[in-house]
Amino acid sequence: MKTAQAESQTATNGATMTPVEKASPQAAETHPVKMTARKVNVFYGAKQALFDVDLEIRDNAVTALIGPSGCGKSTFLRCLNRMNDVIDNCRVSGEIRLGDTNIYGAHIDPVLLRARVGMVFQKPNPFPKSIYENIAYGPRIHGMAERRAQMDEIVETSLRKAALWDEVKDRLQEPGTGLSGGQQQRLCIARAIAVNPEVILMDEPCSALDPIATARVEELIDELRENYTIVIVTHSMQQAARVSQRTAFFHLGNLVEEDETDQIFTNPRDKRTQDYITGRFG
Amino acid sequence: MTTGAAPASFVSDAALKRLQKRKAADRRLKYYGLGAIGIALLLLATLVTSLIITGHTAFLQTHVTYPVYLDPAKIDAQDPDKGNYRSIVRDSFAALFPDVTGVREKRALSDILTSAAPYILRDKVVADPELIGETIDFTVPVSDPFDQFMKGNIKRETAEDDRRVTNQEIAWVDRLMADGRLSKPFNTGLLTNADSRFPEMAGLAGAITGSFFALLVCFLISFPTGIAAAVYLEEFAPKNKFTDLIEVNINNLAAVPSVVFGLLGLAVFLGTFGLPRSAPLVGGMTLALMTLPTIIITTRASLKAVPPSIREAALGIGASKHQVMMHHVVPLAMPGILTGTIIGLAQALGETAPLLLIGMNAFITSPPGGILDPSTALPTQIFIWADSPERGFVSRTSAAILVLLGFLIAMNAIAIYLRRKFERRW
Ligand SMILES: Nc1ncnc2c1ncn2[C@@H]1O[C@H](COP(=O)(O)OP(=O)(O)OP(=O)(O)O)[C@@H](O)[C@H]1O
Ligand SMILES: [Mg+2]
């Protein structure tokens, strides 16, 4: 099988050379690698959820993770900011680097890591506090603002970047839970942005939203790409095609193939990828 | 015709029959429930009614008002504490009945007044020594038999030998009444007096203060400890045999009979630590042992009820475990925690056995000034009064139960109010 070969090749070729890079050298040039996963295996108790996943995530690009339900997309995403640490029976092996640092290294503080690798969840989950507090909480616990004016500024810029400012600027003291679903999700994105992360992980951020709210969030993701590295899990092929530059297809805990989004959707190399994107399973 | 299964019909006989049967079953279930609730309400109503019937008279107290001449010859103006108040009270009262001359009769006459009358007068004069030499209108409770007579608990029709007031005494009372000297105001003494040997003077102030101090100690110990234990067990404890054991034990602890906690308090707090007997401090500590499991269990349930998405949200922006707990989860769980705590405290308020064991059923005639002073508590006061033969204590027992129930209802109402007010939907 092609992918199996490709993967074994990766292993022998070493860290920097992957078949993907060979296939699309331009992408490698325009977008330097931000995060690298090497031989990542994840176990929930005795059950293995990910098998030897090797993946590179590129800077200032949107990487979409697609695949049938239960294939390990969320699991992989949660490895990238060590959110799996809080699950009792979850064990992760392998190496994931952010820049040059192995985030599973002994001296790495997961709390600090999560400030650099932010996360947006499937269901909008604002804190049951004011809109202002929702944004200000992260910067406050990380000591990013010394005076009130600084905090106000962070709140405003975060909300602006999340394209929410105009809608909420007059009601910053009202509870965040009182916003509409789409607004709540943008609030959550703003909250993630507020701590100034390098990478933003999004796990099906639009699955609870209507098409209009989805379009807004997608637009937003495209804008955010300028300044951030974004990894998004999605079940919508159209969404992956619309917002992502690169796409990774997972199946039964394996990374089947990873390439430029166009390439994956027009000319997948693996039969399983083709079956999935044409809707034959999953 | 058709041999396969016909589509279900709404109107076939069989279908209608089944429908009827189902509806009858639904109705029966509803009536069982209504019946059960009816029985429960009936029992409750019986309890409260019987308490009110026996207890309501204790909320009023017969008083007699008469002029008292504060004879300077009998009171030392320099030291009003010392004075022959007994004779002042008696003589002024006897002056109302000039026709009563015999020593025996005179003594019987003064028995109409509460035996505490001299002390009441003394306190009045000590508070205001200016009064010496003047004649004042003195209002005191009448002693228990006459109070009961006035309230109709002792009947005029009963044969003289069978009642505690003689015909002669009734005649005196009638005279007092005719002169307008008797009144039956609200019995403030029930709430402001401490315990007393004389029912007409006995009140709940000592018991209420004692219960308050005990609950305060109980709260201060069990609330922080309970929350800390629950937070640890829920969020930090590794899942292993040892923590399982702790968990099982906490659940068991909640089911341990309270008398056992009383014995523990007696052995450890009084025996080993040598803390003072009958003190609200020890009572509170013993009650805290009982309240702790309740608080731990309800706190854990409230922590569990905080949706995981809130924890994830906080973790996701880089909050530490401690920050997630203290900034988000615990505040969100607080209404539930408070509700559980109040319910735990309400249980503790009504708890009697452990307090009996550590001696909070002593006879104490002044309210405690602090948590180390000997004191009673509401339930133990009820216990003491229920044990006293005087008629006045019978109605006071019921009245004390009503007061206790009042406190319990108030606490539970607060708990319900808090729950309603802070109920959240995510
Ligand atoms: N906390 C957990 N404990 C045990 N097993 C888990 C846990 N979380 C996930 N798994 C298992 O790991 C596998 C991968 O789950 P994951 O949530 O990563 O799938 P997914 O690709 O995100 O699916 P979906 O598209 O439905 O969200 C699944 O088989 C799942 O049952
Ligand atoms: Mg998922």
Distance, CA of B255 to CA of B259 (rounded, Å): 12
Taking residue A56's Cβ as centre, other Cβ atoms within 10 Å add up to 23
Distance, CA of B39 to CA of B34 (rounded, Å): 9
Write the residue with the smallest CA distance to atom 2 of ligand 1.
A44
Nearest Cβ partner of B316 from A88, A119, A142? A119
Contacts B310 to A, Cβ<8 Å: 125, 127-128
Residues (pLDDT < 50) of chain B are 1, 426
Distance, CA of A95 to CA of A39 (rounded, Å): 7
Residue A196 lies in a domain: yes
**CATH code at A50?**
3.40.50.300
Contacts B239 to A, Cβ<8 Å: 88
Distance, CA of A95 to CA of A101 (rounded, Å): 10
Per-residue confidence (pLDDT) for residue A4, from 0 to 100? 41
From ligand 2's centre to the CA of A120, what distance in Å? 12
**Closest CA of chain A from B316, distance in Å:** 5
Average pLDDT on A78-88 reads 90
pLDDT over 80 at A118, yes or no: yes
Q: Do B318 and A88 touch (CB under 8 A)?
A: no
Per-residue confidence (pLDDT) for residue B424, from 0 to 100? 62
Distance, CA of B54 to CA of B256 (rounded, Å): 34
Distance, CA of B319 to CA of A195 (rounded, Å): 11
**Closest CA of chain A from B301, distance in Å:** 19
Chain B CA closest to residue A192 = B317
The string of pLDDT tens digits covering residues B163-178 is 888 998 999 999 999 9
Per-residue confidence (pLDDT) for residue B4, from 0 to 100? 62
Question: Chain-wide mean pLDDT for chain A?
Answer: 86
The string of pLDDT tens digits covering residues B54-90 is 888 889 999 999 999 888 888 888 888 888 888 899 8
pTM: 0.81
Contacts A142 to B, Cβ<8 Å: 318
Secondary structure (3-state) at A191: helix
pLDDT band at A281 (very low <50, low <70, confident <90, very high): low
Q: Do B319 and A111 touch (CB under 8 A)?
A: yes
Q: Kindly report the three-state secondary structure assignment for every residue of chain B.
A: CCCCCCCCCCCCHHHHHHHHHHHHHHHHHHHHHHHHHHHHHHHHHHHHHHHHHHHHHHHECCEEEEEEECCCCCECCCCCCCECHHHHHHHHHHCCCCCCCCHHHHHHHHCCECCCHHHHHHHHHHHCHHHCCCEEEEEEEECHHHHHHHCCCCCCCCCHHHCCCCHHHHHHHHHHHHCCCEECCECCHHHHCCCCCCHHHCCCHHHHHHHHHHHHHHHHHHHHHHHHHHHHHHHHCCCCHHHHHHHHHHHHHCCCCHHHHHHHHHHHHHHHCCCCCCCHHHHHHHHHHHHHHHHHHHHHHHHHHCCHHHHHHHHHCCCCHHHHHHHHHHHHHHHHHHHHHHHHHHHHHHCCHHHHHCCCCCCCCCCCCCCCCCCCCHHHHHHHHHCCCCHHHHHHHHHHHHHHHHHHHHHHHHHHHHHHHHCCCC
- Ordered by where they begin, the domains of chain B are 62-185 (no CATH), 205-422 (1.10.3720.10)
Residue A16 lies in a domain: no
Q: Decide whether any atom of ligand 1 lies within 6 Å of the A70 Cβ.
A: yes
Per-residue confidence (pLDDT) for residue B47, from 0 to 100? 93
Residue A19 lies in a domain: no
Residue A11 lies in a domain: no
Q: Look up residue B206 and give its two tokens.
A: 């000592």
- Please name every residue paired with B75 in a beta bridge, in sequence order, or none if there are none: B83
Average pLDDT on A95-102 reads 91
Q: Do A128 and B319 touch (CB under 8 A)?
A: no
pLDDT over 70 at A16, yes or no: no
Write the residue with the smallest CA distance to atom 28 of ligand 1.
A70
Secondary structure (3-state) at A50: strand
**Closest CA of chain B from A103, distance in Å:** 14
* CB-based contact A202:A221 (threshold 8 Å): yes
Report which ligand 1 atom has the smallest distance to the Cα of A76. Answer: 18
The torsion angle over the Cα atoms of residues B28, B32, B34 and B39, rounded to 10 degrees, is: 150
DSSP of A71-130, one letter per residue?
SSHHHHHHHHTTGGGGSTTEEEEEEEEETTEETTSTT--HHHHHHHEEEE-SS----SSB
Domains: count for chain A: 1
Per-residue confidence (pLDDT) for residue B28, from 0 to 100? 95
Distance, CA of A70 to CA of A74 (rounded, Å): 9
Range of the domain at A37: 26-277
Write the residue with the smallest CA distance to atom 29 of ligand 1.
A70
Chain B CA closest to residue A195 = B317
Q: Decide whether any atom of ligand 1 lies within 6 Å of the A69 Cβ.
A: yes
Residue A257 lies in a domain: yes
* CB-based contact A206:A239 (threshold 8 Å): yes
Distance, CA of B358 to CA of B341 (rounded, Å): 23
The string of pLDDT tens digits covering residues B302-341 is 999 999 999 999 999 999 999 999 999 999 999 899 989 9
Site from B306, B309, B317, B425 to mutate, A interface, most A CB atoms within 10 angstroms: B317
Q: Is the ipTM of this complex over 0.85?
A: no
The string of pLDDT tens digits covering residues B252-267 is 888 899 899 999 999 9
* CB-based contact B378:B211 (threshold 8 Å): yes
Q: Do B328 and A191 touch (CB under 8 A)?
A: no
Task: Say how many CA atoms lie within 13 Å of A154 toward its Cβ.
Answer: 25
Report which ligand 1 atom has the smallest distance to the Cα of A78. Answer: 18
The string of pLDDT tens digits covering residues A37-52 is 999 999 999 999 999 9
- Number of Cβ pairs closer than 8 Å across A and B? 66
Residue A107 lies in a domain: yes
